[in-house]
Structure 1
Amino acid sequence: MPPFGEGIWELVDRDAAVPLYHQIFLQLRDEILSGERPYGSALPTEQELAEMYSVSRITARRVLGDLALNHYVERKRRLGTRVTFRSPAKPIEANIDQAVDSLLALGQGTTVNVIEVATENPPHTVASALQLAAGQQVVRAVRVRCLDGEPLGYVVSYVSAELEGVVTQKTLVRAPILRLLDEAGFHAKHAEQTIGAILADTQLAEALDIEPRAAILRISRTVYDENDRPFLITHAHYRSDRFNIRMDLNVPRPV
């Protein structure tokens, strides 16, 4: 099953009952809501969108029009289409060490099936988030995490191609990707994480053994090193009936 992104694989299910324009609308909307396409960023043109999804320009125009109608983007002649959505939620600060410990514990408590590890040209959103130079490639790693033999999450991660010797089919079976990168000298200083809900498309439903259009918990994470350079992007999709996030909230003590 291919992961999510743009311009590299088949992105829509042409046999689904959901119209193509609405499938594309939902994918772009979710990328905006998750922060993959941040406020002020440019969306593809009608022509680029049509080529990316192998649809007509009329379909691409409707997608961008619907995004504008729902106040996710603004379209201006000769200036293109830019994201205008800002999340109303204020970021919550949390301890990075505790978060990493939790992720490593999840890795130890589940089994992983490595679906694919490939070196390739990145989607635009990934290249921008990892601050890659033009033409620089990435390693894309796709895994399915299982709990008690049942699929729990479909996880797609990206790192710079210079780490293709670190992130491999063999090493991902041995340890979680954060541990592999830490062993290679890439230590997590801080991360940005967005949690949202999406509906499973046909491919996700097949990978996670759920019904199409079932609710999925989507966690997008960008991890930074000691020099504030991003070195890992992960998009994890978890079954809502088997996965939840617990937070212990405490009242701050007066100083």
Structure 2
Amino acid sequence: MGQLDTGILPDGGKARRVYLLLKGEIAAGRLTPGTALPGEQKLAEAHGVSRVTVRRALETLAADGLIEKRTGAGSVVTAKTDEAAIAADMTTLIPQIVRMGRETTARLLSFSYGPPPPRVAAGLGLSEGQMVQTAVRVRLIDETPFSHLTTHVPEDIARNYSEADLATTPLFSLLERSGVTVGSATQSVSATLAAPDVAEALRVPVGSALLALTRIVREDAERGVEYLSALYRPDLFRLEMALARVGADGARHWEPVIGPGADA
């Protein structure tokens, strides 16, 4: 993928800020491969910091493989942008979850049974004393990790598959194999920063911005079958939604456009 993230941020809060801002510009494709960055003095003036601070940020970007220092040309962007990123359409989510499981690989980091955290018990509608199977996985595309997934599944469902099954088969397929018929799902999206363990698993610097997604999958109104907490690298994953303007006069509003894949 052209990136060799070190997992280390430059020393100093100002250097980290400059580093993360420039890295975000590269990840978003606003700074494309081959683009020469402004000189250290201009970057220092633009960000209100010293040249030493800028130099620290640029050195870390170079160590990550995001830029290359070239004689006579300064710092040049070398990283690929999000052209190879995984994109998920919010309106056709379930079919895409299945397809993503087939087109990417997963690495199982942990697998255990135990009592659920309070938020998970409430989300799944579990009674006191009910146990869940908790698994932590990293999903990869072309050997590069793009998501860190923590899933909680009620014990009576999870006992239908093994740790080895989860290491080789998408969870959604295992749920269906266990007799689960998904009826609905709710999902929320926010942002967070990479904690040390997540940063190591995703090969990003500690404190990097991540896309945080929480999804609760239900068989019916009362029974939850999966509670997912997912963290995504924004340079390798994006959520998309098509919208249409509908209604008349003052009642016009935006609604999601449901694509043909929704019934897949």
d(CA) in 2 for partners of 1:106 and 1:249?
A: 23
1:43-62 per-position Cα deviation (integer Å, ceiling 9, x unaligned): xxxxxxxxxxxxxxxxxxxx
Cα offset, 1:234, TM superposition? 0.4
Following superposition, the deviation at residue 233 of structure 1 comes to 0.3
Residues 1:133 and 1:240: Cα distance change in structure 2 (over 3 Å):
same
Given candidates 172, 175, 179, the residue that maps to 1:181 is: 175
Find the counterpart in structure 1 of residue 151 from structure 2.
Answer: 157
Matched, 1:194 2:196: no
2:125 maps to 1:119: no
Give the unaligned 5+ runs of structure 1: 1-16, 19-93
Indicate if the aligned counterparts of 1:167 and 1:177 stay in contact, CA closer than 8 A: no
* Greater fraction strand: 2
3-state DSSP of counterpart to 2:244? coil
Q: What is the one-letter code of the residue matched to 1:100?
A: I
Contact 1:200 1:216 (C-alpha < 8 Å) held by counterparts: yes
> RMSD over aligned Cα, in angstroms?
2.2
Q: Report the counterpart of residue 105 of structure 1 in structure 2.
A: 99
Give the aligned partner of residue 56 of structure 2.
none
* 1:218 aligns with one of 199, 202, 212: 212
How far, CA to CA, are the matches of 1:184 and 1:224 in structure 2? 14
CA distance in 2, matches of 1:222, 1:108: 21
SS in 2 for 1:159: strand
**1:251 Cα deviation from its structure 2 partner:** 4.0
Aligned partners of 2:156 and 2:187: how far apart in 1? 24
How far the C-alpha of 1:111 sits from its partner, in A, is 0.4
Q: 1:253 to 1:111 in 2, by over 3 A?
A: farther
Q: TM-score of the superposition, structure 2-length normalised?
A: 0.57
Q: Does 1:140 align with 2:161?
A: no
Q: CA 1:103–1:122 in 2, change beyond 3 Å: closer, same or farther?
A: same
Change (3 A) 1:251 1:167: farther
Opposite residue 93 of structure 2, the aligned amino acid is A
Q: Percent identity?
A: 29
Name the count of aligned residue pairs.
Answer: 161
Q: What amino acid sits opposite 1:145 in the alignment?
A: R
CA apart distance, 1:230: 1.2
When Rg is computed on C-alpha atoms for both structures, the one with the higher figure is 2
| Counterpart contact for 2:106–2:168, Cα < 8 Å | no
Q: Which runs of 5+ in 2 are unaligned?
A: 1-11, 14-89, 249-264
